[in-house]
Amino acid sequence: MDISASKSDTLSSVVVKKENYLFRLKKNAGNHWQLYVLMLLPIVYLIIFKYVPMYGALIAFKNYLPTKGVWGSEWVGLKHFDRFFHSYEFVRIMKNTVLLSIYSLLAGFPFPIILALSLNYVNSRFFKKSVQMITYAPHFISVVVMVGIILQMMDPRVGLIQKIMKFIGLPTINFMGIPEWFSHVFVWSGIWQNVGFSCIIYLAALAAVDPSLHEAAVVDGANKVQRMWHVDIPGILPVAVILLIMNTGHVLDIGFEKVLLLQNPLNMSSSEVIDTFVYKVGLASTAINYSYSSAIGLFKSVINLILLVLVNRIARQLGQTSLW
């Protein structure tokens, strides 16, 4: 009797909470319908372009044939996942993808923060705006043009970097022909292109720091470095944690276009990543295999989701800001 009564009470409380929630929702919709109209467009966008395409994930579990359609194709379960896990390319592709991702995350994460902290203490408005313009202008250069600039600057015969190295007495290096140099070229060119644009977020966060904290620090005799460490960094830490969590959710999303354009037969051993492999298997191969490439893409998405949830939970347990 006690167990039944407790279950009944629990069910009743859930029903009451649901009714209260629906009542509040209906009341707010009547009083603030404009806000719900504003929400309608992004919700429709998410449903059409994010949730509806999830239907195509079924291809990863079938031997998909366009003539038979998704439902008419043969169901094979985890066959394509097993094929990828046991292929001789799996270890190399995963190694390249993870190394490039971690390298990009660790090297690229602190630079926008450092640039923002430096610009925040610049007194000259003209100098500050000039540095901002110079640093975030490369972000608006297309990937194709950016890769063209990189290849021209690193050309073994006429490249500017090669000329400078020869001028100071260093031997010239074929950067794009040596596999070990690919990750360095990819990561640091990405930092150069995006550091200024990423800095804008941290400058906005620094503008929200309470000025009275700086005034108190100055009264206590703190210099600029101490103010950065004890006032600014704690102030922007929640924003930094949120961006770190979001970047971790894209660990395996290297950047298909740039990697593909920088690839050549000489550096293929260190430049082949999941995205380029999926493109070659799914579209560029003579024997197009939609199911196999879909299985690889789905595997990458699942890993990204797991990492996102894991890092978010760690951040929440450490007492920092989290996405949810």
Q: For the chain, what percent of residues have pLDDT higher than 70? A: 88
Instruction: Give the C-alpha separation, 20 to 30, whole Å.
Output: 15
What class has domain 79-317?
mainly alpha
> Which amino acid, one-letter code, is at 308?
L
Crossing angle for the helix pair 125-136 and 179-207, to the nearest 10 degrees: 140
Amino acid 175: pLDDT:
87
pTM confidence score: 0.81
DSSP three-state, residue 263: coil
Ordered DSSP codes for 64-85: EETTTHHHHEEE-TTHHHHHHH
For residue 3, pLDDT over 70 is answered with no
Residue pair 287/280 in contact by the 8 Å Cβ criterion = no
Amino acid 313: pLDDT:
85
Mean pLDDT of all residues in 283-312 = 83
Mean pLDDT of all residues in 49-57 = 86
Contacts of 160 (CB under 8 A, 6+ apart): 152, 153
Alpha helices in the chain (DSSP H): 2-31, 33-46, 69-72, 79-85, 90-108, 110-120, 125-136, 143-153, 160-167, 179-207, 211-219, 224-227, 233-248, 256-262, 268-271, 274-279, 290-317
pLDDT tens-digit readout, 231-272 = 888 888 888 888 888 888 888 888 788 999 999 888 888 989
For 181, the token pair is 């140099």
Name the band, by pLDDT with cuts 50, 70 and 90, for residue 7: very low
DSSP class of 159: -
Average pLDDT, the chain: 84
Of 37, 84, 40, the residue nearest 60 (C-alpha)? 84
For 123, the token pair is 């007194």
Instruction: Give the C-alpha separation, 145 to 149, whole Å.
Output: 6
Query: Beta strand pairing status for 62-65 and 73-75?
Result: antiparallel
For residue 227, pLDDT over 70 is answered with yes
Determine whether 309 is exposed, middle or buried from the number of CB atoms within 10 Å of its CB (0-12, 13-18, 19+). middle
Residue pair 235/116 in contact by the 8 Å Cβ criterion = no
pLDDT tens-digit readout, 69-125 = 888 888 888 899 999 999 888 999 999 999 999 999 888 889 999 999 989 888 888
For 63, the token pair is 């031997």
Residue count (the chain): 324
Residue pair 235/155 in contact by the 8 Å Cβ criterion = no
Q: Dmax of the chain from CA atoms?
A: 91
Amino acid 13: pLDDT:
58
Amino acid 182: pLDDT:
92
**Core vs surface per residue 150-188: b (16+ CB within 10 A) or e:** bbebbbeeebebbeeeeeeeeeeeebbeeeebbbebbbe
User: How far are the Cα atoms of 31, 82, 263 from residue 95, in angstroms, in the given order?
Assistant: 55, 18, 16
Name the band, by pLDDT with cuts 50, 70 and 90, for residue 155: confident
pLDDT tens-digit readout, 163-204 = 888 888 888 888 888 889 999 999 999 999 989 888 888 998
Location of structure tokens 């493109």: 279
